[in-house]
Amino acid sequence: MYTPPGIKLFMQQTLPRSVYNRLRTFWNECRSYKYWIGALALGLKVMFRRFRLPSTLLYYGHAPGDDLLCSAVLREKRIRGERCIAMISNYPELFARSNDVDWVWPAGDPLSMEWSNVMYYQRFSRVWKTSFQTITYDPFDDGVDRGNSPSRHILAEMCASAGMAGTISVRPYLSLTEDETQGASWAAGEVVVQSSGLGGRLPMQNKQWYEERFQAVIDALCNEIRFIQLGSASDPPLRKVRDLRGRTTIRESAAVLYNARLYVGTVGFLMHLARAVECPSVIVYGGREAPWQSGYLCNTNIYTPVPCAPCWRYNSCEFGRRCMDKIAVADVLRAIRDMLNRSRNPLAVESVEVR
In the chain, domain spans: 5-135, 178-347
3-state secondary structure of 285: strand
What letter would DSSP give residue 320?
Answer: T
Rounded to the nearest 5 percent, the helix, strand and coil shares of the chain are: 40, 15, 45
3-state secondary structure of 226: coil
**Is the pTM of the predicted complex or chain greater than 0.85?**
yes
Rounded to an integer, the average pLDDT of 167-185 is 98
Q: What is the pLDDT of residues 85-104, one digit of tens each?
A: 999 999 999 999 999 999 99
Confidence of residue 113 (pLDDT cuts 50, 70, 90): very low
Rounded to an integer, the average pLDDT of 301-307 is 97
Rounded to an integer, the average pLDDT of 1-6 is 49
Q: Which residue has the higher pLDDT, 264 or 10?
A: 264
302: amino acid identity, one letter: I
Q: What is the pLDDT of residues 118-154, one digit of tens each?
A: 888 888 898 888 999 999 997 655 567 888 899 999 9
Rounded to an integer, the average pLDDT of 171-187 is 98
3-state secondary structure of 207: helix
171: amino acid identity, one letter: R
DSSP alpha helix (H) spans, the chain: 5-14, 17-50, 64-79, 117-127, 154-161, 178-183, 211-221, 250-259, 269-276, 291-294, 322-325, 329-340
pLDDT for position 37? 77
Q: What is the pLDDT of residues 308-337, one digit of tens each?
A: 999 999 999 999 999 999 999 999 999 999
pLDDT for position 20? 63
* Residues contacting 334, CB < 8 A, separation 6+: none
pLDDT for position 17? 75
Is CATH 3.20.20.150 what the domain over 178-347 is classified as, yes or no? no
Out of 116-130, 171-185, 193-207, which region has the weakest mean confidence (pLDDT)?
116-130
Contact 150, 138 (CB under 8 A): yes
